[in-house]
Structure 1
Amino acid sequence: MELRQLESFVVVAEELNVGRAAIRLHLTQPSLSRQIAALERDLDVELFARVKRRFVLTTAGESFLADAKELLRLAEEAVRDAQRTQRGELGTLRLRFVQSATFRVLPQLLGAFRTANQEVLLDLETMTTIRQLDALRDGRIDVGLLRLPTPEPGLETRVLSEDPLVVALPAGHRLAERERVALTDLADESFILYTRSTGPSVHDAIVGYCKAAGFVPRIVQEGADTQTIVSLVAAGLGVSLLIALTPPIDPRAVVYRRLSDDLPPWKLSAAWSPDNNSPVLQRFLRLI
């Protein structure tokens, strides 16, 4: 049974006249009759009969007509879906992101992408840079929003933002009244830093900056994510150096201040494998 046979059957069933059906299908009457006969042989049923010189559907033909129309509809839908998938209008985007991306870049990107691609499924999860790199290499995700200290071999990247370090201080801290704070002002403070196992590049960079300013930071607590660190600062357990943008919080609990030191910004980048030919990924890359 072929789709063209189903289409011919449906048109003949609608017209109940082989001549008119042949005109609609741009076929000769003998060719159309052969198609119907071949379909009846394949099904081993009679689809049409003549009753008082009229061409009518048999009971089996009436039963088959609804299913034939549904099969043709599904075939057309399958073709459309395949074409749309190839254009990236359907499918899934597997995206992972570091937490600091959630404060500005991620909402902007996802908002614009969702508006233009409403039928693409979004597979989203917070993930550290280290884990994202492994997932990109293994093909388990399509794109990551991460912070790379150095270029990563085998991956394409595009910088999305460059963000400074800021000081997070309890609102009642002695330095909270200043517009900018120097690293040397923090030499005697207790520090709350990113857990090294989840963010070694940021952790090591901050420690390195402090050493270059003449002191080793006294780390009293660590947090795996920015929100936890800010909560510990709000509790008065210490100060922290964070990558801006930072999570919104009551200014009566925590204040953020820029550093007066000339430190390099932290780049937030999109990263993906050049071997990934996902059409959905290509649409996302065109957006960013």
Structure 2
Amino acid sequence: MVAEELNVGRAATRLHLTQPSLSRQIAALEHDLGVELFARVKKRFVLTAAGESFLVDARQLLERADEAVRDAQRVQRGELGTLRLRFVQSATFEVLPRLLGAFRAANPDVVLDLETMTTIRQAEALREGRIDVGLFRLGVARGLETRVISRDPLVAALPTGHRLARRKRVGLAELADDPFVLYTRATGPTVFDTIVGHCRAAGFEPEVTQEAAEVQTIVSLVAAGLGVSLLIAPTPRIDPEAVVYRELSDDLPPWELSVAWSPDNRSPVLARFLDHVRGPGTP
């Protein structure tokens, strides 16, 4: 203030201080710094070279202090920080783009740490605090909080030349004589075992001739004519001249896709994300 006014009396008035008090504070500051901040030149009160340098840094410090307060408040509100999110592949075709697109628009300064991960690995990482939130199919949620955000059907993936490809719906029993391409059991035992269980309930043991960890690979193998598959919708886009997706006529329960998190995680960014998921317009 004294540097702006170059007059201790006017500066004291603006600061609601007495002039002697302000003069003592300036003198104490100069003593602490070991430099002269102001000088009188031809009866004028001016900044010294040291004073001009210190003024620039002092203003920057004050601005940074204000920024630090704002940043701390934004972190507390979950507007700044990092969200470590993992997801199963079947979430990438519809739910994940819609969910993250809306969250990013509302929270542009949150850093998104994203990676595909199997349900089992997500559950372990959540319990160990290595990630903040997961998108997975239920079955291993012990000790975690979950919220269902999507219920998806199982569909048949058929090569375009398959005998049932022209049908709108097919029954599981009609696929009994076909070789199957399924998710690798080691990476997704719940999905694998449930699909095999549905086939057994339909009266046959599926002949699994190929397994793959990624759904895109499964679809490619189906397109190559190596078998049929059962996939959780939504499914990856592909040339309809290579593979077609058909609804199943069997009365099967839907697959639930859930948001999962540890109740011990106190991250404000996580809380903001969960509030967003809970809000209107989300899956």
Taking structure 1 as the reference length, the TM-score comes to 0.93
- Does the alignment pair 1:29 with 2:15? no
Could you tell me which runs of 5 or more consecutive residues in structure 1 were left unpaired when the two chains were aligned. 1-10
Letter in 2 for 1:113: F
Q: Distance in 2 between matches of 1:30 and 1:127?
A: 68
Correspondence for 1:176 among 137, 160, 165: 165
Q: CA deviation at 1:25?
A: 2.4
| Pick aligned residue for 1:138 from 128, 139, 146 | 128
Counterpart CA distance in 1 for 2:197 and 2:209 is: 17
Q: What letter corresponds to residue 254 of structure 1 in structure 2?
A: V
CA distance in 2, matches of 1:242, 1:259: 11
Aligned-pair CA distance for 1:67: 1.3
Q: Distance in 1 between matches of 2:13 and 2:190?
A: 72
1:41 alignment counterpart? 31
Structure 2 residue 197 is the aligned partner of structure 1 residue 215: no
CA distance in 1, matches of 2:202, 2:187: 25
Worse-matched range after superposition: 28-37 or 175-184: 28-37
Alignment of 1:112-261 (within 5 A): 112-149=102-139, 152-261=141-250
Q: 1:160 Cα deviation (Å)?
A: 0.7
Residue 14 of structure 1 is matched in structure 2 by 4
Q: Deviations over 1:51-80 (max 9, x none)?
A: 222211112111211111111111111111
Give, as a single letter, the amino acid of the residue that structure 1 aligns with 2:14.
R
SS of 1:257 mapped into structure 2: strand
Report how many aligned residue pairs link the two structures.
277
Alpha-carbon distance in structure 2 between the residues aligned to 1:153 and 1:65: 58
Letter in 2 for 1:180: R
Post-superposition shift, 1:33?
2.1
Question: Structure 2 length normalisation: TM-score?
Answer: 0.95
Q: Residue 279 of structure 1 corresponds to which residue in structure 2?
A: 268
Taking only the aligned residue pairs, the percentage that are identical comes to 77
1:61-111 CA distances to partner (integer Å, 9 max, x unpaired)?
112111111111111111111111111111111111101001111011111
Among 56, 66, 69, the alignment partner of 2:56 is 66
The counterpart of 2:257, out of the listed 268, 271, 279, is: 268
Match in the other structure for 1:5: none
Q: Which amino acid aligns with 1:28?
A: T
* Residue number in structure 2 paired with 1:51: 41
Structure 1 vs Structure 2 CA RMSD: 1.1
Q: How far did residue 236 of structure 1 move?
A: 0.5
Choose which of 88, 98, 101 in structure 1 pairs with 2:88. 98
- The letter for the 1-side match of 2:217 is T
- 2:224 partner amino acid: A
Distance in structure 2 (CA, Å) of the matches to 1:266 and 1:56: 76
Gaps of 5+ in 2: 278-283
